[in-house]
Amino acid sequence: MNKKVQLQNLGRKDYKETWDYQEELFSSIVADKLQKRSEPEIETANYFLFVEHPHVYTLGKSGDFSNLLLSEKQLEAKGATFYKINRGGDITYHGPGQIVGYPILDLENFFTDIHKYLRLLEEAIIMVLSDYGLKGVRSDGETGVWLDVGTPFARKICAMGVRASRWVTMHGFALNVNADLGYFDNIIPCGIRGKGVTSLHVELGRAVDELEVQQKIIRYFSQLFEAEIIFN
Exposure on the CB side of residue 148, measured as CA atoms within 13 A: 10
What does the alpha-carbon distance between residue 112 and residue 166 come to, in Å, rounded to a whole number?
Answer: 10
Residue 90 annotated as binding? yes
Number of helices and strands (H, E) in the chain? 5, 12
Nearest in space to 218 (alpha carbons), one of 150, 148, 124:
124
Determine if residue 94 is labeled as part of a ligand binding site: yes
173 is known to lie in a ligand binding site: yes
Question: Whole-angstrom distance between the N-terminal and C-terminal Cα of the chain?
Answer: 21
Helix%, strand%, coil% for the chain, nearest 5: 35, 30, 35
169 is in an annotated binding site: no
- Does the annotation count 158 as an active-site position? no
Given the residues 59, 190, 217, 218, the one annotated as active site: 190
Q: Is 115 annotated as a binding residue?
A: no
Single-letter residue type at 10: L
Residue 87 annotated as part of some ligand binding site: yes
* Residue 64 identity (one-letter amino acid): D
CB 8 within 8 A of CB 102: no
185 annotated among ligand-binding-site residues: no
Q: Is residue 114 classed as helix, strand or coil in its secondary structure?
A: helix
Q: Tell whether 88 is in a known binding site.
A: yes
60 assigned binding-site residue: no
Say if residue 77 carries a ligand binding annotation: no
Binding residues for substrate: 87-94, 159-161, 172-174
Query: Catalytic amino acids?
Result: 190
Which residue ranges make up the annotated binding site? 87-94, 159-161, 172-174
